[in-house]
């Protein structure tokens, strides 16, 4: 009788990560305390350190959206000598028969 061998969950997770999750390998420096606390959390939850760090980075960046008003405020007046054609010239260029 043949036995069907299921891959271990960690093997499946590693294969999924390698095949379906595009990523960039990044080296970071952690303090001794950060490393100790991440190791302890990983033991409690069973989560790999890389996943915990990715999730922490995602949480950190979740509200990091460009602020349109801040961009306008920062760039206001940067081209004081810019000359724009009048609206009439825009209309004439759009309809050459006018």
DSSP 8: P
Half-sphere exposure of 70 (CA within 13 A, CB side): 3
Residue 92: pLDDT over 60: yes
pLDDT (tens digit per residue) in 28-55: 999 999 999 999 999 999 999 999 999 9
What lies within 8 Å, CB to CB, of 23 at 6+ separation is 17
pLDDT (tens digit per residue) in 53-86: 999 999 998 888 788 888 888 888 888 788 878 8
pLDDT of residue 28: 94
What are the residue boundaries of the structural domains of the chain, listed by start? 30-61
pLDDT of residue 59: 92
pLDDT (tens digit per residue) in 11-29: 666 655 555 667 788 999 9
Distance, CA of 49 to CA of 28 (rounded, Å): 12
Distance, CA of 41 to CA of 48 (rounded, Å): 9
């Amino acid at each position: 009788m043949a036995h069907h061998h299921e891959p271990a969950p960690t093997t499946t997770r590693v294969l999924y990560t390698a095949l379906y999750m595009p990523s960039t390998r990044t080296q970071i420096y952690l303090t001794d305390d950060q490393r100790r606390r991440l190791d302890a959390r990983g033991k409690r939850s069973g989560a790999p350190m890389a996943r915990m760090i990715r999730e922490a980075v995602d949480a950190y960046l979740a509200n990091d959206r460009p602020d349109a008003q801040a961009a306008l405020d920062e760039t206001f007046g940067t081209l004081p000598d810019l000359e724009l054609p009048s609206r009439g010239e825009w209309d004439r260029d759009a309809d050459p028969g006018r």
